[in-house]
Amino acid sequence: MRRRAFWPLIAIVLAVAFVLIPGEPILHAVGAVPLLLLLPGYAVSFLLFGPERPAGATAVVALAVSVAVTGFGGFGLALGGVLDRTWIIAVDAGVGTGAAAFAAWRYRSDLRPRRSPGHVWTRLLVVSGSALGVAIIGVAFALDVTSARQAQNQASVALSVITAGDALQIQVAAPDDGSFSGTLELKGTSTILRTWTLQGIPPGGRWTPSGSVHLPKNTGSLQLVLSRRGSRLRVVDIAPSSSRSGA
Amino acid sequence: MSVATDVLRPVAAVRLDRPEMTPEVNRIPRLGWSIWAAISACLGVLSVAAADIQSRESRPDTYVLFWLGIGLIFLPTAWQLCRRDTTRNERLVLALVLGVSLYLVKCLYSPTAFVFHDEFAHLRTIINLRNSGHLFGWNPEIRVAADFPGLAVVTLSLVKVSGLSVVTSGMIVIGVGRLLLMLSVFLLLERLTGSSRAAGIGCLIYAGNANFLYWSAQFAYESLALPLALAVAYLLLRRSDGTKRELVPALLVAAMVVITHHLTAYALFALLVAWSIVVVLRRRRGRRGDYAPHVPALLLGAGAGLWLGLAAPQTLGYLLPVIGKALGQGVDLLLLRGSNRALFANPGGPIQPVWEQATAIASVAIIVVFVVLELHGWRRRGEHPLTSALAWTSTLYLLILPLRFTIAGQEAANRSGEFLFVGIGVVLATMLIGGGTRASHARNRGVRRWHRVWNRLRRVRTATAFVACVVIFTGGIAVSWSYDARLPPPPSSAGVPTITTPDDIAAAQWFLGEYGPNHRLVADITTGLAFATYGDQNVLSGASDGAHVWRIFFPSTMTPTVYGELVASRVEFVFDQKPLTESVPSSSVTPVFDLGEPTVDDLRPSSVASQAKFVTASGFSMVYRSATITIYRVDQGQVRAASGSG
């Protein structure tokens, strides 16, 4: 025999403890998702249906009411100009704890027998199947996020070249979320006219060549090429000097 | 409870599944098949991830990997859901696995950043709220997005408590919405049809609406509001069993719908009104036991009306022109003035494979046939009033279908799918697995005969339902997103970008660092999205500023019209995308600059001269030039002088 009515209360206390542990971002995330998107509604479903809850309706109430509590709570806090972490936790934990405590008191003497655990092979199959599925999804996301980050980093560095007469105004801006090191080359049709080595531009930082850069006379088409570890990140074409006009 | 009341509440008693056919819960071999179906869905997600990775690296065969992944997700799950001897709980879990796996397909498209058009609008709402702490901030992308802050508030709350990024938090919130959506659809259909098998098949059919894979999974207010609305419908359906416990949570969630999305709130209101009308009509025929959701409908209507009047008065100005234009073109079509849109056309993009086009047409044909049969008297007596209301909404699908031949109506037809497919799911699922059980009630003789034949074909019914679901689902994907936009492009793809690229985002972040926020600038729509969000700038548009942006970009020389528009709109910066001169924009990125621009200009690349004119224009100075984007600063004093208005 056990008291199921205390479960939401315990779950909310645990979730709040997780989000309040200082300096542990992973635990904050682990606690915050159920605290905001599951537990307030779950506690309300206990209050509505009691320990013998219909599983489907409980799940719907748990998710939908939690989103509504977080939404309306946040809306009220934003109207009051206090949409900050402490208040959000207070509202969601407050609603959840209130409902859970009331449910626990209301069904305090409602003792139910333990549910049948089911066939051991069935449980083993479900657990191992779920673990395998989660692992596959985890691998899929790890590979995809790595690929997307590489693509983003490759493109997140900004290279700007402005021609003013025969002068070149060059600027390289590192991405906001990472430093940048690489090579910048000014290329003619068959030769490299000039090379700069860019070392550790801080996140969001800018680099410009020291001293002014002038273009040689009567050159054909030029290219400015920004590379990192041998791969070209940016290529900006510069029109031939005869057709170039100052801006 | 009286016997009479029980008779008048027949839905719970209607069991299309035969109880003796429902096997024991713990029979391992069959459960094993369901687990393998779920693992197959996970492998499908892995295959789609591989397709995305290859697409970013411009490798071939991405198309095969994408469809292999979709097949691995859908086919085994669909087969298990269509079979007769799958248990109810397995069906529920498989429906959730299907919904979440297909949601992950969208997440894998861009797992580290929002890249779809509407996502930027809602990202802007969150940025405004985070930076200022105030609701209803200025949103240049979609003006009304800020007036419905439900999604932004929930997401920002999660950001603040969890410390996760806005993108990750947004994906979690919409993921919870997707879970709630599948749960609600399954439980709603199960309750209405009295069959978990019909509910499972209904979920498969619902997943076949054209917006399910990408549109309804993007970070947008409708993606959260629709699951909430369906949850409200389900809770009120339980209320019709006589319990009153669900009423308060249903009203709370309905209020959340009101502050989250306009159209969903109005659609939910319409559904509750239709449900009430069906009940009133039945009461006139002597059936007095049915619950009518008058009070929730009234409160929802009042709430939505008050919100519209007090907090979001510009909503009608946003919605009505779109609806009016769609209806206008629809009327033109009916009056045989011709269609202005060819099906499967994709100017500037690759041609969709023939088999996809054929499947899309077949999926529409299947739905039309079943809905028409429904209209001809397949309806069963004693069904729940909500079933009748939903079945009648499925007939709207027929009415809206011709709009697919119009440019303005195409979007409306597509967008209505996620609402109408609940009714279509009820109709098709019931008919596919056992609608003939009450054939004698069919009004039409031909339909009655068809019922009898259908009942004799019980053995092939599972296979028929499976094939119908596969065709509808595949057709839904085929007509969803432009063929060339289903996988992420490489970071330096040639041609006009169909989504905002990292290059745009890098330039937007550079711009914010260099000049600060809230400058008035003009750009093409795709580039503007990045600058309105990552760059925190005020990108001008016709809807928000009365600007006619294309007048600045299309002319080949600096005409008085160009100067006049620059002055009238008080433009501070002009942005050029070089790829616009190199190829024809895909149909998925038109209009290029803003609504209202001449369509003929979207069917050809911009001229080189139209971009080169800014280099030497009076009052223009180049401040940024990358491989694709060039930014000019506009001196309003000199521009006024040049235009003669200074």
The pLDDT of residue A43: 92
CB-nearest to A156 from B172, B238, B505 is B505
Question: Which residues does chain A have within 8 Å of residue B46's beta carbon, measured at their own beta carbons?
Answer: 136-137, 139-140
CB-nearest to B52 from A49, A60, A144 is A144
- Best A20, A67, A159 residue to mutate vs chain B (most B CBs within 10 Å): A67
Which residues lie closer than 8 Å to A231 by C-beta, 6 or more apart?
A154
The pLDDT of residue A6: 77
| HSE-up of residue B352 (Cα within 13 Å, Cβ side) | 24
Of B253, B250, B249, B178, give the one whose Cα is nearest residue B219. Answer: B178
Mean pLDDT check: name the lowest of B181-190, B332-341, B406-415: B332-341
Mean pLDDT check: name the lowest of B7-11, B118-122, B223-227: B7-11
Identify any residues that bridge with B621 across adjacent strands, giving them in sequence order.
Answer: B633
**Is pLDDT above 60 for B11?**
no
Integer Cα distance of B218 and B636 in angstroms: 39
Burial class for B401, CB neighbours closer than 10 Å (0-12, 13-18, 19+): middle
Higher-confidence residue of B399 and B186: namely B186
Identify any residues that bridge with A226 across adjacent strands, giving them in sequence order.
Answer: A184, A234
Is this complex's ipTM strictly greater than 0.85?
A: no
Mean pLDDT check: name the lowest of A154-158, B305-309, B362-366: A154-158
Question: CA of B158 to nearest chain A CA: how many angstroms apart?
Answer: 7
**Is pLDDT above 70 for B566?**
yes
The pLDDT of residue B7: 35
| C-beta separation of A47 from A32 below 8 A | no
- Digit-coded pLDDT (tens) for B512-535: 888 888 899 999 888 888 888 888
Nearest CA in chain B to A139: B46
Of B15, B11, B1, give the one whose Cα is nearest residue B195. Answer: B15
Identify any residues that bridge with A169 across adjacent strands, giving them in sequence order.
Answer: A162
Whether B625 and A161 lie within 8 Å, measured CB to CB: yes
Average pLDDT of B326-343?
66
The angle subtended at Cα B338 by Cα B335 and Cα B343, nearest 5°, is 125
| C-beta separation of B260 from B151 below 8 A | yes
Question: CA of B473 to nearest chain A CA: how many angstroms apart?
Answer: 23
Q: How confident is the model at residue B397 (pLDDT cuts 50, 70, 90)?
A: confident
Integer Cα distance of B520 and A10 in angstroms: 52
A117 in contact with B, Cβ within 8 Å: no
Nearest CA in chain A to B628: A236
| HSE-up of residue B211 (Cα within 13 Å, Cβ side) | 21
CA distances B645 to B560, B567, B615, Å, are 10, 8, 22
Q: Which two tokens stand for residue A88?
A: 């959000």
Q: How confident is the model at residue B17 (pLDDT cuts 50, 70, 90)?
A: very low
Question: CA of A221 to nearest chain B CA: how many angstroms apart?
Answer: 15
A131 in contact with B, Cβ within 8 Å: no
Whether A159 and B510 lie within 8 Å, measured CB to CB: no
**Is pLDDT above 60 for B242?**
yes
Task: Please give the mean pLDDT across all residues of chain B.
Answer: 82
Q: How confident is the model at residue B474 (pLDDT cuts 50, 70, 90)?
A: very high
Whether B231 and A60 lie within 8 Å, measured CB to CB: yes
The pLDDT of residue B76: 95
Rama region for B349: left / alpha / beta (φ>0; ψ in -120 to 50; rest): beta
**Is pLDDT above 60 for B442?**
no
Whether B615 and A245 lie within 8 Å, measured CB to CB: yes
Question: Which residues does chain B have within 8 Å of residue A136's beta carbon, measured at their own beta carbons?
Answer: 39, 42-43, 45-46
A141 in contact with B, Cβ within 8 Å: yes
Q: How confident is the model at residue B22 (pLDDT cuts 50, 70, 90)?
A: very low
Question: Which residues does chain B have within 8 Å of residue A38's beta carbon, measured at their own beta carbons?
Answer: 176
Whether B53 and A144 lie within 8 Å, measured CB to CB: yes
Domain boundary assignment for chain A? 4-112, 156-243
Q: How confident is the model at residue B492 (pLDDT cuts 50, 70, 90)?
A: low
Highest mean pLDDT among A141-145, B124-128, B486-490: A141-145
Q: Which of residues 35-94 of A touch B (CB under 8 A)?
A: 35-38, 41, 44, 48-49, 56-57, 59-61, 63-65, 67-75, 78-79, 81, 83-85, 88-89, 92
Whether B180 and A63 lie within 8 Å, measured CB to CB: yes
Mean pLDDT check: name the lowest of B146-150, B410-414, B487-491, B587-591: B587-591
CB-nearest to B513 from A144, A204, A235 is A204
CB-nearest to A68 from B36, B246, B253 is B253
- Digit-coded pLDDT (tens) for B627-636: 788 899 999 9
**Is pLDDT above 90 for B618?**
no
Mean pLDDT check: name the lowest of B147-151, B435-439, B550-554, B560-564: B435-439
Question: CA of B249 to nearest chain A CA: how many angstroms apart?
Answer: 6
The pLDDT of residue A70: 96
**pLDDT > 90: percent of chain B:** 34
Question: CA of A29 to nearest chain B CA: how many angstroms apart?
Answer: 4
Q: How confident is the model at residue B454 (pLDDT cuts 50, 70, 90)?
A: low
Integer Cα distance of B186 and B201 in angstroms: 9
Regarding the domain delimited by A156-243, which CATH topology (the fold level of the hierarchy) does it fall under?
Answer: Immunoglobulin-like (2.60.40)
**Is pLDDT above 70 for A99?**
yes
Question: Which residues does chain B have within 8 Å of residue A247's beta carbon, measured at their own beta carbons?
Answer: 615, 620-622
Question: Which residues does chain B have within 8 Å of residue A161's beta carbon, measured at their own beta carbons?
Answer: 625-626
Question: Which residues does chain B have within 8 Å of residue A32's beta carbon, measured at their own beta carbons?
Answer: 158, 161-164
Return contacts of B32-35, CB within 8 angstroms, 24+ apart.
Answer: B32/A125, B33/B80, B34/B80, B34/B86, B34/B90, B34/B93, B34/B94, B35/A125, B35/A126, B35/A129
Q: How confident is the model at residue A131 (pLDDT cuts 50, 70, 90)?
A: very high
A161 in contact with B, Cβ within 8 Å: yes
- Digit-coded pLDDT (tens) for A208-223: 888 777 877 666 778 8
A21 in contact with B, Cβ within 8 Å: no
The pLDDT of residue B2: 39
Integer Cα distance of B402 and B384 in angstroms: 30
* Torsion on CA atoms B528, B531, B533, B536, rounded to nearest 10: -130
Nearest CA in chain A to B629: A160
**Is pLDDT above 50 for B102?**
yes
Whether A48 and B246 lie within 8 Å, measured CB to CB: yes
CB-nearest to A160 from B190, B509, B624 is B624
**Is pLDDT above 80 for A52?**
no
Whether B45 and A61 lie within 8 Å, measured CB to CB: no
Q: How confident is the model at residue A155 (pLDDT cuts 50, 70, 90)?
A: low
Element (H, E) at B473: helix B458-478
Question: CA of B186 to nearest chain A CA: how many angstroms apart?
Answer: 9
Question: CA of B2 to nearest chain A CA: how many angstroms apart?
Answer: 24
The pLDDT of residue B179: 96
Question: Which residues does chain A have within 8 Å of residue B259's beta carbon, measured at their own beta carbons?
Answer: 71-72, 75
The DSSP letter of residue B588 is: G
Q: How confident is the model at residue A243 (pLDDT cuts 50, 70, 90)?
A: very low
Q: Which domains does chain B have, with CATH numbers?
A: 220-313 (no CATH), 502-643 (3.40.50)
Q: How confident is the model at residue B10 (pLDDT cuts 50, 70, 90)?
A: very low
**Is pLDDT above 60 for B612?**
yes
Question: Which residues does chain B have within 8 Å of residue A25's beta carbon, measured at their own beta carbons?
Answer: 163
Whether B158 and A36 lie within 8 Å, measured CB to CB: yes
**Is pLDDT above 80 for B411?**
no
Element (H, E) at B174: helix B166-193
Highest mean pLDDT among B368-382, B390-404, B483-497: B390-404
- Digit-coded pLDDT (tens) for B292-311: 899 999 999 999 999 999 99
The pLDDT of residue B170: 95
Highest mean pLDDT among A108-112, B174-178, B308-312: B174-178
CA distances B139 to A53, A136, B121, B527, B570, Å, are 43, 39, 7, 16, 18
Integer Cα distance of B438 and B456 in angstroms: 14
Q: Where are the alpha helices (DSSP H) in chain A?
A: 7-20, 25-37, 39-49, 55-79, 85-106, 120-156
Instruction: Give the rounded distance of the alpha carbon of B574 from its chain centre.
Output: 32
The DSSP letter of residue B437 is: G
CB-nearest to A60 from B28, B157, B183 is B183
Of B112, B138, B135, give the one whose Cα is nearest residue B124. Answer: B138
**Is pLDDT above 90 for B548?**
no
The pLDDT of residue A4: 62
The pLDDT of residue A111: 61
Burial class for A124, CB neighbours closer than 10 Å (0-12, 13-18, 19+): exposed
Q: How confident is the model at residue A74 (pLDDT cuts 50, 70, 90)?
A: very high
Burial class for A10, CB neighbours closer than 10 Å (0-12, 13-18, 19+): exposed
Say if strands A167-173 and A158-164 run parallel, antiparallel, or are unpaired.
antiparallel
Nearest CA in chain A to B110: A148
- Best B127, B154, B268, B534 residue to mutate vs chain A (most A CBs within 10 Å): B154
Average pLDDT of B365-371?
90
3-class DSSP assignment, residue B483? helix
- Digit-coded pLDDT (tens) for B42-55: 999 999 999 999 98
- Best B52, B626, B629, B638 residue to mutate vs chain A (most A CBs within 10 Å): B626
Of B346, B259, B242, give the one whose Cα is nearest residue B300. Answer: B259
Question: CA of B626 to nearest chain A CA: how many angstroms apart?
Answer: 5
Backbone φ and ψ for B171, nearest 5 degrees, come out as -65, -40
CB-nearest to B26 from A57, A118, A158 is A118
